[in-house]
Amino acid sequence: MAEFTMELNDDQKQVRDWIHGFAADVIRPAAAEWDEREETPWPVIQEAAKVGIYSLDFYAQQFFDPTGLGVPMAMEELFWGDAGIALSIVGTGLAAIGVVANGTEEQIGTWIPQMYGTPDDVKVAAFCSSEPDAGSDVGAMRTRAVYDQAKDEWVLNGTKTWATNGGIANVHIVVAVVDPELGTKGHASFIVPPGTPGLSQGQKFKKHGIRASHTAEVVLEDVRVPGSCLLGGKEKLDERLARARERAAAGGGERVKNAAMATFEASRPAVGAMAVGTARAAYEVALDYARTRTQFGRPIIDNQGVAFQLADMRTQIDAARLLVWRASWMAVAGKPFTAAEGSMSKLYASEVAKKVTAQAVQILGGNGFTREYPVERMHRDAAIYTIFEGTSEIQRLVIARTISGMPIR
């Protein structure tokens, strides 16, 4: 029987310690400044590129870790450093996942390197799916892509919102409707190359948290991209649409995932790992504070009311990590998510991050409510995890539908 272990191997520990060192030495000292500036931390991204953390090779190595733990391990350590800066470093990865999940080998080889640039000239990429009237409800998407057969070009029109790196990206991946009659099955993803006319940045959002990460609208006005920029190619799209039409005509369900959901499904455990990193950071600050802060002549951790909170915080963080690791292992092992384990990991870790960071603020008392201590920022940052890449309510819906087999609404 194969040996069962939950311990990282020596190579994984070395990588974890390397990333942790970068997070401690480079990310954390810059966190408060870039949170206040609410700007993309280009110097930090460049430092990450110089040491090899912001690169295609680094993420490929973690992605192909045979245990599945490479990506969640890396995410946890980076987001332990700071969620806003870390999201600026890893935000390109969502667009890259979109290409890997839906693209051809030629598209992967051509476009992913352009998403990252070089250490001397770093670039970022954006994945554009959400719209002003279509966030969790991807079926309400209005951005259209119409094929111009004479020129072998796709013409894109619409507005995307909540796009990480939107408008400042070198490469944008845009999900659009190609056949409105098929609902979510009529969606496809497109690569918008650098400098394409008609693509512009709309409103840049001033956010409650993750303020070092650029979030904006992306406006598409008669954006023309070559036929080769349709992820997966037109032949594959036509075959998928034909199958969807046949099943729709027969009254059957379409099993093929749409382009946006294929990307989100692959990234949910990684988002859970981000939440674990933020929760762990807040817990460690609270634990250290409780050990050193004295009230009535003794450390406040001597009080059960504080000590029990810390015990619960640590237990919940470890439980969240285990759910993330399980889902990550299942994905790389080809195990089907028969109980929506990917959504479970994202749901629980997100909720834990919100709760633990709030408890950390409470343990620090008045100090926790000031920007002199990082838990205030961590608490603001943690709010995003229950919202982006599928709200907690959507995760519960996915889980409920999966375990019941019913079309719960």
Catalytic (active-site) positions: 389
Q: In which element (H, E) is residue 378 found?
A: helix 375-382
Q: Is 347 helix (H, G, I), strand (E, B) or coil?
A: helix
DSSP class of residue 185?
G
Largest CA distance in the chain: 82
CA distances from 383 to 165, 230, 350, 353, 393 (A): 19, 34, 8, 8, 14
| CB-CB contact of 243 with 256 (8 Å) | yes
Q: Is 39 helix (H, G, I), strand (E, B) or coil?
A: coil
11: phi > 0 → left, psi -120 to 50 → alpha, else beta; which? alpha
How far apart (Å, rounded) are the C-alpha atoms in residues 293 and 373?
14
| CB-CB contact of 143 with 160 (8 Å) | yes
Q: In which element (H, E) is residue 156 found?
A: strand 153-164
